[in-house]
Structure 1
């Protein structure tokens, strides 16, 4: 039985914290903007401090554009083609008749300035062979949902590169726009051979586009990243070179030296020198800076997995698309090519405007990709019929059968 009296007390406590949250958020925002202004001219000193420091946060590589610089919306070329993809999947189900899984990639080519109709379709891929369903050496393990997600992300990018390259080769000036990050975060910490298997295909796709000077960009709606604000937090640290693992303001009594402030013992994280702007995202700060259509400076990500990206290491910027501040990620060769960077900037804003706040090409690709509940039921029904038709002995689990024929 639920102890409602206890729950009520906890809810009241939560409400007390919620009431004070706007005031705290305002204080954090003011501190963040003050730090941004402080380092706007002396950004190279902050960049040097980032290089010297060892932190537990993800920090950006500050480039030649500095920290606070913003750029107005460029004019979109009259004639341009947008290629986009998105993916969905039917995960493997051990209770079903087969442990196979399916990935469906929706794609679209939108032509502007030519009068041509868009190309929209989807491409399903069924994975059923042993090498698709089992991973690992020695003891085999069933493919996880995480692995299916990684494979889907890879297919989205390789299909996008194929689509955009084909459009370019037919004479269309093309931009490849992906949904989400171009950084394969899920590969961090995986075995080297596993990482290389997926990265080789993805980087080959990027290289296909680089050779053709077709820019590729990843669009992140409502980004929660704190790369930029983490740099501002670092700027608050009194030390010349921060070392979060040995922070003197978090030292235990036994670890203190005569130079360690006595009030540092057991201090909460928000009371640390860097805690004044803890928890605020890049987008929230830049909303106070960027005008509609404008973009921020370009930064390079320091994600560990990017050490294996070679010339395709990922940079990012933020852009005010009207409804929100979006994060846009591009390979370094796009970031270092001003005409390509301007093209991505213009196309992203134009697509978001046409899509009422979200790029229309990504919305359409999603609609082509999505696998709904009815699609999943049809897939497994056809699968069961195929097993029966070919006289292959296979059974669903009792659990799956019970769920389909639930008793009252």
Structure 2
């Protein structure tokens, strides 16, 4: 028993009533309770498990064996211990207690859990993504080969395991693998049978820091490229539709010989006004119009920049040898113009589109009569 007392493993003995009768220094170090605190107390009370005293009772019924129990330490933390147990027998061969020799396997259990989790994650990736995941040892021999992407090239999981990369591929095709085996990660894009492929070559180092293997990931980009193209096509379609809507919302109409009308509707912002300015000026040049009516009857509001743009638009029309006329200004728009202090003295403003059209026709007729009279 002296040898067990000095053992690096936790040594605990308890009787039929679960009272602790022996508790070595390793038990004190690993579990936090000193021998004085532990001896005489119930092991089920000192080291409670999710099943209360059940697991400790069962050890009394078994000759020997090992089981793992999760229980609390003195500091409140929980750990997993592997307890190898042997029944203690009296002179008559009857059980008088249990000797337990334990070791803390919390780190092992957690490492095993993380390993299983990583396996599940890897399995989820290779089963659901168009990807091929492979690994090779330092000699280039495949040790792992799996992934949903294999089906598209007519291959099966594990098909190349045991095959050497350098025997399978030409020298120029193994540059990436050789680079990774030298400890340098490699990433590239390529096409295989017309399919866009993205590759990663990741060196894996051993405990000595040497590259012991390479993990490779090959991703088939065919579907993502198709989705990207679909998205670009949809965006282009939306842009064309928006262009049509903008043209419909600000149509440029030739309402009389030499007279263009631009009825604007809704809320007019700076971006829309800039586009309208460009379209209207091009239409004036194209048609040789003498007048351009900017009808704001349907405009409920303009921002501060837009009011300035409208004045600039009238000035630009004048530079092209035509006259810009603003009609149908609503009270809210008029208040914005006044608040900005814009000078409309040089701009002809009329109550509505009808008045504007009369103005243009009248000016046209007078100019024609004047030309006839001069002739």
The TM-score, its normalising length taken from structure 2, stands at: 0.19
RCO comparison, higher one (Cα < 8 Å, 6+): 1
Structure with greater strand percent? 2
Structure with greater helix percent? 1
